[in-house]
Amino acid sequence: MQQAKVWNDNKYPHIEKYKGKIIEIQPGKYVEMDRDEALQFQGQFKAPKKLGNGVDDPRHFKMIRVDAPPAEAEYNPLTNPVTGKVCASPEELKAELAQYKHLTVADEGESTKLRQELAEMRAEIAAMKGTKSATASPKG
């Protein structure tokens, strides 16, 4: 598990009970914790304490920050980008991707046809708005 630094940015020591343990962080110092634990500790609610006149006591402000390394992303070159499934071999990945071949543009003729359809739709929208469309003609 990755270690994170939990810093106390207050000028007073931070003392708090977390999961049955007392965590004490001196001003301007840090303690190391597992990344996930540090983020949970940071988000744990600590009730504010008051001074005699009803004002919050700054000695008990929770002014901590977590310097956590980013979560590790596992990269596997055999992961199907469409489904997220990890394939056992490159051949299996190719077979799975072949199922989605219809989602790609096959050739230049098909691409030109799609551009023409898009231009026609833009012209229809422009006509509905009562304006001329400068992009109504397809560009090859």
pLDDT in tens, 10-45: 999 999 999 999 999 999 999 999 888 998 999 888
Where residue 128 falls among pLDDT bands split at 50, 70, 90?
confident
pLDDT score, position 113:
81
pLDDT value for 131: 60
Is residue 123 within 8 Å of 110, Cβ to Cβ? no
| pLDDT tens digit sequence for 46-103 | 888 888 888 888 888 899 999 977 766 667 788 888 888 888 999 998 898 888 777 7
Q: Which pLDDT score is estimated for 87?
A: 86
Judge whether residue 137 has pLDDT over 80: no
Which residues fall within 8 angstroms of residue 17, CB to CB, at 6 or more apart? 23
What pLDDT is recorded for position 6?
94
CA distance 15 to 70: 26
Q: What is the pLDDT of residue 71?
A: 67
Higher pLDDT, 120 or 100: 120
103-116 average pLDDT score: 72
